[in-house]
Structure 1
């Protein structure tokens, strides 16, 4: 089982926790090999990643990707971290013999076996397998030509890397980014969905559980699809009641002071199994989460109203984040 993460030194604690959780939940898997795309990764972070792999008897390769953004030129990430774009270059950086890889964002925790996901059979011309994201603004998808298509979250993806290479998927997606960067709010995720439209296999929501399943019930999520096929109610219930992968999307993350994430304790437990045991919480969030919890309590009876408010707020938050990143870069 080949597992891919990408990170810089600041995100090493989260990735170490994710690695520990994956190893602990998949002890019966004979071979697990971690590939780490490291951007300006310092020696301490690199050694801690290696230490987690060693302690679970797993192998690891840390691959420096400094300078990878040269492939994207003057690309505007709209406030997102540019490191997420590196996953598009997996065929370039991973060894030629790696024919299948499971990509995980660093903000994930694995709670059960991934063998069934890893052994997913692709059909027809399918290239990757992931989970449907119902909460993406359908008006934005219409502008991208995806209004009548399923849209997939790119944080957790199983990739047929052999076919990816044979068909030059990397070049197609990178070229699309270069030609249409100003249209891609979600950067690599939008590009993947556009270039591989109709070629992505939907797997159980168990493999990419996020807070959307707390805030919106099945009826609401299904209605947000506007007639585009979604999970059946039974598949939704099975997948969300016993998730295999928790994806800490959004601002409510278990390493931030004052959060009440449903799966906070799971993250902290696995963090405690890494060299980052006891690392302090990210400060400055307590007031934010007080307001966040009040907002969620008030909006709980009105999921569609909540969705409309959040959809309008996301671009505002990302613009603020973009300005902050620019300021940090100048300093």
Structure 2
């Protein structure tokens, strides 16, 4: 596609740039997110930026298919050590992997390409129109984001000693690229991460909240409607029950909507958008994939009073956990 940096500023503003930071395994999940955006925003102009450390030829080919299928632009940004050069000594001397810093390079890479960019986690589905984000007045702030769940916000602002008592979930951020660069947000976040603070539970999300305190415009929850499938399934609730309006549903937590074995209604929503994507021929997860999921599935089955199946999956969990312990021991 044509490099968006070659277009006039006015033309750039008509394009909504959306960025994902994923590993190769998550690229197909991202495909469903993109399909959901396009299904609910027909005729709108998007460029999707995929930030990866590596990507298979097959996934690269399917990303390219998004352009023909939906009439969008795509740009793959393979992150190499040079892009982390300014963070190298922090990465080398800290407990964090390079992946922790990935979101921090997005504005630098897109400077001159996009005036603003929407960052999205790949466990988000779009169920509404996003046009408002193209022209949303950021009121002089660097980013717009949504408050995290009330319990999380109270705990994190206390732990981090945040004077504003406001804490956002970084799964969705609308970023003013120039303002981010001018304020040195990446550098401020890296400084937090390199400080060896013991109160950083959520790593770069905590660091971004500290770096962006008083620089964040807080949006309605519809822009990052956090939905916990575990809470539903532990009460044997299998209907998707949204509390209020939603544009982006964020399936945060350890159970994702591509886990068909849960039987939750959210899996049907995900399967619909997955089928629209270039990865639609790939199977979704019909059974738990690891010992943690096996244990959760055992609990879910117990809530459904399927006691025999629950016990069988609990034994599978124990066997898998023992096998893993032997392999790593």
- TM-score of the aligned structures, taking structure 1 as reference length: 0.74
**Aligned equivalent of 2:277:** 274
Cα deviation digits, residues 168-196 of structure 1 (max 9, x gap): 22212122211245431101110111111
2:166 counterpart residue number: 150
In 2, the alpha carbon distance for the partners of 1:96 and 1:109 equals: 28
2:9 aligns to what?
Answer: none
Change (3 A) 1:119 1:289: farther
Separation in 2, partners of 1:288, 1:197:
36
SS in 1 for 2:166: coil
1:76 to 85, 95, 112: 95
Say whether the 8 Å CA contact 1:21–1:111 is kept in structure 2: yes
Q: Secondary structure at the match of 1:131?
A: strand
Which secondary structure does the structure 2 equivalent of 1:251 belong to?
Answer: coil
Residue number in structure 1 paired with 2:219? 203
- Report the CA distance shift for 1:295/1:270 in structure 2 as closer, same or farther (over 3 A): same
Residue of structure 2 aligned with 1:57, choices 51, 64, 71: 71
Aligned CA distance change for structure 1 residues 294 and 193 (closer, same or farther; 3 Å): farther
Paired position in structure 1 for 2:18: 3
Q: Which runs of 4+ in 1 moved over 6 A?
A: none
Taking the aligned partners of 2:208 and 2:84, their CA distance within structure 1 comes to: 17
Distance change in 2, residues 1:250/1:102 (3 Å): same
Q: Which of 6, 12, 28 is 1:13 aligned to?
A: 28
- The runs of 5 or more residues in structure 2 that have no matched partner are 1-15, 233-241, 306-323
Offset, 1:54: 2.5
CA offset digits 1:139-196 (Å, max 9, x no partner): 4432311275111000000001111112222212122211245431101110111111
Q: What do the CA deviations read for 1:190-209 (whole angstroms, capped 9, x no partner)?
A: 01111111221111111111
Distance 1:89-1:295 versus aligned 2 partners, 3 A rule: farther
Which residue does 1:221 correspond to in 2?
none
Q: Which of the numbers 289, 296, 299 marks the counterpart of 2:297? A: 289
Aligned position for 2:10: none
What does residue range 28-67 of structure 1 map to in structure 2 within 5 Å?
28-29=43-44, 31-67=45-81
**Residues 161 and 138 of structure 1: CA distance in aligned 2, closer, same or farther (over 3 Å):** same
| C-alpha RMSD of the superposition | 3.0
Counterpart CA distance in 1 for 2:156 and 2:184 is: 27
Q: How far apart are the structure 1 equivalents of 2:223 and 2:263?
A: 22
TM score, norm. by length of structure 2: 0.74
For 2:156 and 2:219, locate their aligned partners in 1 and report how far apart those are by CA, in whole Å.
Answer: 24
Query: Number of aligned pairs?
Result: 275
Q: Which has the larger radius of gyration?
A: 2
Q: CA 1:207–1:197 in structure 2 vs 1: closer, same or farther (change >3 Å)?
A: same
Q: 1:156 to 1:260 in 2, by over 3 A?
A: farther
Q: Secondary structure at the match of 1:281?
A: coil
SS of equivalent to 2:147: coil
